[in-house]
Amino acid sequence: MKTEDLIEVLARGDDAPAKRKVWPRIAFALAVGLLLGVGLLLTFFSIRPDIGAARMMVMMKAGFAAMAAGVSLPLLMRLSRPGRATGWRVAAIFGFLALCAVVTAIALMGGDPSTRMQAWMGGPFPWCIVIIPILAAPTAALLGWLVRDLAPTRLTMTGASLGAVSGGVGAMVYAMYCPVDSVAFVATWYAVSIALCAVIGAVLGARLLRW
């Protein structure tokens, strides 16, 4: 966005027509990023062999990831436009994280104490914190290219919200690979992975979203 266009938008104060133009582009970027993430999964990883039998759990994990992306998307849309207050959008994200903590605690308390650690960690190491950011990269690149043209001013926060949305999309793809179906694992480590994507987005956003 050119400086003259930014001044015109700020002076007009009504960006409803712009929003109507942006939403289809955001939806297209998310859809293409999801497909590219699936391509990365098929190229470098795999789909779990029992995905047919485990389809309900896979859908549950993908739904959780989609919820995380959906909670973060309104904040990204708000920050993409200069001079807009975030309002309830930041609180919604913290509310989602609090819900994840409550769900994790309930799931662990209701499980067998002898298998509690296995249910929480899913194995020796939660590889989702490595793989989800990789699968989120195509979505992050597409959204970054799109958002940069909208002239955001709070670059670090915008990058963080962009990373969180991308992380949610990456986690949706990862659900087709993830062999762990524990509720405690998903509520903890998927959330941590998406938060890591947000941190990466915050760091890179301060540099790459400049216009």
Residue 23 has what pLDDT?
A: 87
Under a CB-based contact definition with an 8 Å cutoff, are residues 189 and 129 in contact? yes
Alpha helices in the chain (DSSP H): 3-12, 16-44, 55-79, 89-109, 116-121, 128-148, 155-174, 183-185, 191-208
Under a CB-based contact definition with an 8 Å cutoff, are residues 75 and 90 in contact? yes
| Interval 166-197: pLDDT, tens | 999 999 999 999 999 999 999 999 999 999 99
Q: Is a pLDDT exceeding 70 seen at residue 48?
A: yes
Q: Is a pLDDT exceeding 80 seen at residue 13?
A: no
Q: Which two tokens stand for residue 14?
A: 């009504």
Residue tagged 């001044």 (tokens): 7
Which letter does DSSP use for residue 153 in this model? Answer: S
Overall average pLDDT of the 32-53 stretch: 96
Cα separation, 44 vs 53, in Å, equals 23
87: left (phi over 0), alpha (psi -120 to 50) or beta: left
- How many structural domains comprise the chain? 1
Average pLDDT, the chain: 90
Helix (H, G, I), strand (E, B) or coil at 45: coil
Range 100-106 contact pairs with CB under 8 angstroms and sequence separation of 24 or more? 100/187, 100/188, 100/191, 101/187, 103/183, 103/184, 103/187, 104/183, 104/184, 104/187, 104/188
pTM of the prediction? 0.89
The pLDDT confidence band at residue 5, using thresholds 50, 70 and 90, is low
Under a CB-based contact definition with an 8 Å cutoff, are residues 142 and 33 in contact? yes
Terminal Cα distance for the chain, rounded: 7
Residue tagged 């509520």 (tokens): 187
Cα separation, 126 vs 210, in Å, equals 34
Residue 21 has what pLDDT?
A: 78
Residue 67 has what pLDDT?
A: 98
Q: Which of 11-15, 47-51, 62-66 has the lowest mean pLDDT?
A: 11-15
Residue 151 has what pLDDT?
A: 82
Cα separation, 103 vs 7, in Å, equals 46
- Pick the residue with more confidence: 66 or 11? 66
Domain with 62, as residue range(s), is 3-208
| Interval 119-152: pLDDT, tens | 999 999 999 999 999 999 999 999 999 998 888 8
- Pick the residue with more confidence: 206 or 82? 206
